[in-house]
Chains A and B, each alone.
Chain A
């Protein structure tokens, strides 16, 4: 593998050492003492040997990474770096491995921690752990890996940068929804829905029993079971197996890329939409997600385990739209459909909604602060 770059330099210690060697050499020449010449020879030999072994240390070394399955933005993570010494005789000694991570063609503000490999025998493969933090969602590109060697006593530094392209997807920052805040919204829009469908309790699947609490409907007391357990009153619980629909529309309109306020609102809204979708899926909703990413995108999520993965992938790679304002987004909403409509706003512009206001839950990014907290 052809290195991208090589750098070789005599470091501070090496500079001091060279000065010392020159001083001893001068004294030896000036004095004419062979014992001083011997000291000079040994010092020079130490330098030459350190130089040669340092150059040898980075030769015939294989580096591979084992990246984690999933990473969320702002969440520290660890990954393995495997170093294999393919030399037949010479052990590997004191090697530093540094990854260089790029986000959107720019170096990541926080690079992974360097990995130190103290010793690896000939043909041995050792594994070390590097730690990193993904500061933003999207594709993190592990562009290159730099190997730095300083054979003791560490007089010269030899650094070789090898190409080692690998990508890792960083999901949006993981948010946790405050259910106490969300539930009133759901109740408001579901009230109409319940009236319209006139669904009665009991048509759901029996899920189990629990202790009776004051306020519960006595109708659902499990009398037979309560009779078997003296002193306790047990209540039937039912699982709502109905599948209801929800639509989440996310505004991604950031006309000015330099508008950091709006961009940060978008990031918050992305995390919120993920959390909201997961919460709705857990409530057995069928969720439709629509946004300009910047192309019009619609994802339908069925209430099953792992359904949010597709949404997370889309949100991880989402780019803000510069041409599609929120008005275009709301046009896509179908008033005839019987679904709970969430509109996640990042802008302050007024917008005319095509559905009755009582069926819409419009949440602004500023309000999301109180409705969600970050896991990390």
Chain B
């Protein structure tokens, strides 16, 4: 149990311990992985490694898998993971979670393959388990989390139990009491964990406003990252100065996994083309003027008050069929720009400011968390087809270009030369930037040479950049051919939590795109950032609609759906949405229930008839007990006392031990009576006789020791103990 001894206890001898441990790792990986195409392959590799470890590894006398190779494989996995992360492939949250899970699982596989596993390896795998479940709890949150977690917990506890036995010199043999101990420990752990979970003083740690589970609006402000300059520390959220956005401003957000906001959206009518779960764009600030790597906005917001229904309405004459009612829950923002999906129509606030360009502002700066309702006009990408005959609305300032940019102008004109109509030209330019120009998406640091425009440098020299570069290039090229365009900063939300029916928007979802005004349609969005990395044009995965089923099948499905909903409600109520408020409520319920029960019992007992009945029964029982024969009394006491010492002959063992200490050894061949005859020569004969008689009565007569018997036995043992000093020079041998 010393650290140096236990730390290197090899568990290679115990197949069961390793099997349990490997199973716990697989369970944790299953909980952490989400839509990973490589998951099956990873599990297969792990399974084969486990088979090797459990079945064949021990047949090799020498380590088959030296430590150098183990370290090498771990380093390889780390390098692959880091490269994967740096190249931006792990950027979306889901992919990122999968990447970490894959990396951890790979390391677990390496540990499984390594030989001479020590306690260090067990702990490493245990930490990998916990890490995988943390990923699962933070990002994936599968509905099967609890069963997977409990199963993995039991497996891990079993492995640690076997490990402790190994440490005690038990070389992997069966332990008859192991399952019982494991059951006791697992039950205790679950009970204590439930207590901690439900009564942990969360109010002491006011982590986030709103108190919703699942990492809701807890972490950081939202919005494009705009450096505040000298007016304070750098923030990652709504710009305190939303009038300016540099090309490099969003780069810092792209690695930020924290949740920025949560969005719940409901279509106002059935004809809306909004489909829950499909990626949506949340528009924040809009920028109209470009100057050498920076976009500027010229906001002129006017303060407006809410109407009688509490809404600040900007276009009271327009009610569009594709309105999207949105509830957005965000965190301390530190800014005043309001984000929403589509062009904002109504904003539920007592007061707000609205810019004619289509941006809402809070009435004052919001440093605290906020939950707001807003209605936006949702326009999906598919609207392009309807615009073929529509010219863009003429907004003169949106066609202004800074001086220079000759190459960009020339290239834009060259591209659109073959196309007629504004929409076709927009699409042609977008296609060119998206595919034909060979521009690559990259999060690598970008800096243009002195004197060169960053956008031109991106398009013609650097040829790789991220959403800000692509959107800026498209906006400027559109302007170069006379199409008004502006740049929009916001979020491209892709993670949809189906269990809560809300979008989880992280800072890394920050995005930039281009908007073009169309008369009668408003501002329409065009995104030319490569799709495969941002998923911008990924077609929505529509839920399958059941058709042609008969009534019974539909009824069954409906019943199943309701059952699932009920389960989900319970899941949400007791786990996901459990917060300090629910905690206080649970405590109140618990104490209330206990108090109510006690009060009810007190009220019940306080009734005269009941009190008389209970008292009479108690008196009757007492009298009946007193009238019982002595033996039956003892029997009853034993029954009530849980048959304590009913058939124990430990006192005889103690007697033999004392006798052996005094030089009287019981040979195995001697019966108790024979031994008593010999022992009586050296030890008090009465005591020896009494102990022998009682031993026979209990051991062979099936009679329990009464309290009186116990007293006699104790006296007899004391008499023997005082009969002479133990033989110090020649200590006794065993009495068995």
Contact = CB atoms under 8 A, between A and B. Distances in A.
Nearest to A150: B1
Contacts of B728: 167-169
Interface in B122-164: 123, 126-127, 130, 133-134, 136-138, 141, 145-146, 149, 153, 157, 160-161, 163-164
A154 B200 CA distance: 24
A96 B1 contact: yes
Nearest to A44: B196
- Grouping DSSP codes into helix (H, G, I), strand (E, B) and loop, the A interface class, with mixed when no group exceeds half, is mixed
Interface in B174-231: 175-178, 180-181, 184-185, 188-197, 200, 202, 205, 207-208, 211-216, 218-219
Residue from A16, A27, A36 whose CB has the most chain B CB atoms within 10 Å: A36
A81 to B, nearest CB: 11
Interface residues of B, number: 76
Contacts of A102: none
- Grouping DSSP codes into helix (H, G, I), strand (E, B) and loop, the B interface class, with mixed when no group exceeds half, is helix
Contact of A91 (B138, B145, B153, B177): B177
A157 B2 CA distance: 9
B160 A93 contact: no
Interface in A16-64: 16, 20, 24, 27, 29-46, 48-49, 52-53, 64
Contact of A152 (B134, B161, B576, B733): B161
B203 to A, nearest CB: 11
A69 interface: yes
Contacts of B126: 153
B15 interface: no
A33 B189 contact: no
Interface residues of A, number: 64
B218 A94 contact: no
A282 B410 CA distance: 123
Residue from B163, B176, B729 whose CB has the most chain A CB atoms within 10 Å: B729
Given A24-B134, A66-B731, A69-B733, A45 B575 contact: no
A32 B730 contact: no
A69 B727 CA distance: 10
Interface stretch (A111-119, A199-207, A256-264, A336-344): A111-119
Given A30-B219, A49-B188, A168-B731, A35 B575 contact: yes
A68 interface: yes
A93 B175 CA distance: 10
B207 A32 contact: yes
Given A20-B127, A49-B189, A152-B164, A42 B153 contact: yes
Contacts of B130: 20, 24, 39, 43
A69 B661 CA distance: 11
A121 interface: yes
A238 interface: no
A80 B160 CA distance: 28
B120 to A, nearest CB: 10
A243 interface: no
Contact of B193 (A27, A44, A94, A118): A44
Contacts of A127: 734
A43 B193 CA distance: 8
A4 interface: no
A39 B134 contact: yes
A116 B169 contact: yes
A48 B188 CA distance: 9
B732 interface: yes
B733 A36 contact: no
A154 B168 contact: no
Interface in B108-126: 123, 126
Contact of B194 (A40, A41, A166): A41
Given A91-B181, A118-B170, A152-B161, 11 more contacts: A29-B205, A32-B207, A38-B146, A38-B575, A49-B185, A64-B657, A70-B730, A88-B644, A93-B164, A150-B164, A152-B164
Interface of B: 1, 3, 6-7, 123, 126-127, 130, 133-134, 136-138, 141, 145-146, 149, 153, 157, 160-161, 163-165, 167-170, 175-178, 180-181, 184-185, 188-197, 200, 202, 205, 207-208, 211-216, 218-219, 575-578, 642, 644, 648, 650, 653, 657, 728-734
Interface of A: 11-13, 16, 20, 24, 27, 29-46, 48-49, 52-53, 64-70, 80, 88, 90-91, 93-96, 116-119, 121, 123, 125, 127, 148, 150-154, 157, 166-169, 313
